[in-house]
Amino acid sequence: MNLPTKCFISHAYADAVARDRLIAHLPAGVQAQVFPPITVGPTQFVSNSLIKSLLGCDGLVYLNGGHSESSFWVAFERDYALRTGKQVFSADPKTLEISPHSGCALDLAAFASYHRADRTRVSEIAEFMKRERYVDLWLDYQDLQAGMNWAEEIEVSLADRLKRGGYQIVFWSRQASMSEFIKSEIERAAREVSSFNDRVLFALLEDAPLPPVWLQFKEPGVQLYADAERSLSQRMDDLVVRLYWLIYRKTKHSRFE
């Protein structure tokens, strides 16, 4: 097996023994890159430094068994490596046999709802999500074309993203909270799925109260407005990681099911 010169080793830290055995088993000349332990949950961690470490490698080898098989972070790292064109390999934690990965990355489907007054802020965030994190984000001013039946296209596109296991991302602000159009899009999402809190994610552009109907679910939104501790780029990555986790937790490998 011809492995790249520098490989990111993706694993659950509960599989540290198997990881060390794998590293010792790597062919001479292959350098292993191990990221420090992630000590917070996927709804909290900002992945910028993780992705920077991964991008500095030529390929990725992940443990395909043990705790690693159901690890969110292993899935996240593997998927990002696939999306960026890295060579990806799986390793059996018992036999240490290494083979090329087979399979596709997760379908990161999302639909953006926002108030036109927030378009500048939303555009910056959407550009990051689409270009830097490969989210298939439907955005009206990019995806609607002249001559289309806009109302029908919006309804079809939202339904498509939800049926694919994706989410409606509501970019929330004081202006958005007063929008009947955004309210109708949220209601449309509720009609498409049995539990709309499992398909709607609020991205908070400013400190505006969430809809009363949402408060019953006790689901927090993702704060995008910066403060003294976190920059906007960190907040944007919070949103991507939260979206990925929400989609991943419904897969057959997720330990959250």
Residue 153 is part of a domain; what is its CATH number?
A: 3.40.50.10140
Spatial CB neighbours of 180, under 8 Å, sequence gap ≥ 6: none
Same domain for 145 and 240: yes
The terminus-to-terminus CA distance of the chain in angstroms comes to 35
Its domain, for residue 61, covers: 6-100
Same domain for 241 and 119: yes
> pLDDT tens per residue, the chain (257 residues)?
689 999 999 999 999 999 999 999 999 999 999 998 766 655 555 577 888 999 999 999 999 999 999 888 899 999 999 999 999 999 999 999 999 998 888 999 999 999 999 999 999 999 999 999 999 999 988 876 666 677 788 888 988 998 898 999 999 999 999 999 888 888 877 776 656 567 889 999 999 988 877 766 667 789 999 777 778 888 898 899 899 998 988 776 544 43
Task: Tell me whether residue 256 is in a domain.
Answer: no
Which helix H or strand E contains 212, and what residues bound it?
Answer: helix 212-215
**Encoding tokens for residue 82?**
């696939």
Query: Global pTM?
Result: 0.85
Tally of structural domains, the chain? 2
Task: Tell me whether residue 61 is in a domain.
Answer: yes
The C-alpha atoms of residue 154 and residue 152 are separated, in whole angstroms, by 5
Same domain for 206 and 145: yes
